Amino acid sequence: MKITDVKCAIIGQNPVVRITTDEGIDGFGQAESTKPYLKPHVLFYKQWLLGADPTNVERVMLRIRRMGSFKPWGSAVSAIEMALWDIAGKAAGLPVYKLLGGKVRDKVRVYNGSVRFPMNGYTPEDYAENMAKMKASPENFSIIKQGIGFHSPMPSRVPNFFYGDVESGAPHSNRGLLTERGLKHVIACVEAMKDVLGDEVGLALDCGPGWMPTDVIRLARALEPLNIMWLEDTINGDYNPYVLADVYRDITMSTSTPIHTGEQIYLRHNFKELIERQAVNIIGPDPADVGGIAELKWIAEYADLHGILMAPHGTFDGLIGLAALVHAAAVMPQNYIAFEYPTGKPEWWYDIVEGLPNPIVKDSLIEVWDRPGLGVTFKVEAARQYLAEEDKDFFD
């Protein structure tokens, strides 16, 4: 089997990769909806993929993996890798998880990072009201993540929140030392959310990037009695092309509140310091950024050897990305907690793909399906109407 073409179309906001072969089997991968600009990045790699056997996934990835990097290049590499596994599974007549070693679990746990409700404000009362809505959502999530601090509008909406000028425009551009009022406000909001959730639902906090280490330690210690699931991306995170393992280690060693990072990191090599130095308690690679499905599994296994837990990111990965996460989570070792559940946006995404269970999530769990490849594919005629003019030949 040989690769005959590599295509990329923006469907909704998600870049979608389609790889075709000389045996009529194609495969799909998907990048985050936050990257509608990714098409030229994907097509950059086409010259090294044509003529290769897509079922030799690792051999093909060796051609392009080293030419990726932190977002956005790693995102393009990751979406290609998903499509290769989709082809390999279809060619073998097996679900991708079988090619990765077989299931560890029949159902995979997810946490809520994408089933959202509009917030009326950013007071403790607003956070409590919003958390009550998420707790009542039909997926019955066992873990809910909420943005606070610099991963929320607090810097611009809470007066005298931090010692710095409020920046707008670029994502997560604010950074600085919190005022006493700012720190107390964050703690009060977390306490209000925990009052709603009690010990029935775990609360994870998406914090930054943007915090100073001293503030993270103060926050983490103040929250120790609340048994928070984790503090995520405090020092750095999305849109930061570096790791800072030494800083994370200082924080992690200073508190019993679990510390989490990793959604922005590309490849196992850039997790090496975090894992080997015990710099965090939990890591959260995203299969749409880290290098793909197999890369995610490799990192999970290496983290397990070092006593570090795994809670993959995925909120913007879309429905094909959801399938990739399900297969990856099915084969991870027992350090796996849950992955961040992505939804289809716009809503019509659910009308143009087939293969997902209905409902997808029951009691915070997704049952692992057994269809070949990723097991989720397009209803081609339904999807065609959403293609831009320049992508009209995407399914041809």
Q: CA nearest 284: which of 239, 321, 315?
A: 315
* Cβ atoms within 10 Å, residue 48: 14
Query: Beta-strand (E) ranges in 136-247?
Result: 143-147, 162-163, 177-178, 202-206, 230-232
pLDDT digits (tens, 9 = 90+) for 223-252: 999 999 999 999 999 889 999 999 999 999
As beta bridge partners, residue 203 has 144
pLDDT for position 318:
98
- Model pLDDT, residue 184: 98
Residue 362's CB is within 10 A of a number of other CB atoms, namely 13
CA distance 230 to 241: 22
Residue 183, Cα to own-chain centre: how many angstroms?
27
Task: Please tell me the distance from the alpha carbon of residue 183 to that of residue 161, in angstroms, as a whole number.
Answer: 8
**Model confidence over 359-382: pLDDT tens digits?**
999 999 999 999 999 999 999 999
Task: Note the pLDDT of residue 375.
Answer: 98
CATH number of 98-373: 3.20.20.120
Report, as an integer, the average pLDDT of 85-112.
Answer: 98
DSSP 219-285: HHHHTGGGT-SEEESSSS-TT-----HHHHHHHHTT-SS-EEE-TT--SGGGGHHHHHTT--SEE--
pLDDT tens by residue, 206-229: 999 999 999 999 999 999 999 999
pLDDT, mean over the chain: 97
How big is the CA angle at 92 (ends 90 and 96), to the nearest 5 degrees?
65
What are the residue boundaries of the structural domains of the chain, listed by start?
A: 3-95+379-391, 98-373
Q: Which CATH class is domain 3-95+379-391?
A: alpha beta
Give the dihedral of Cα atoms 326, 332, 338, 339; nearest 10 deg: -50
Taking the C-alpha atoms of residue 57 and residue 31, their distance in angstroms, rounded to an integer, is 18
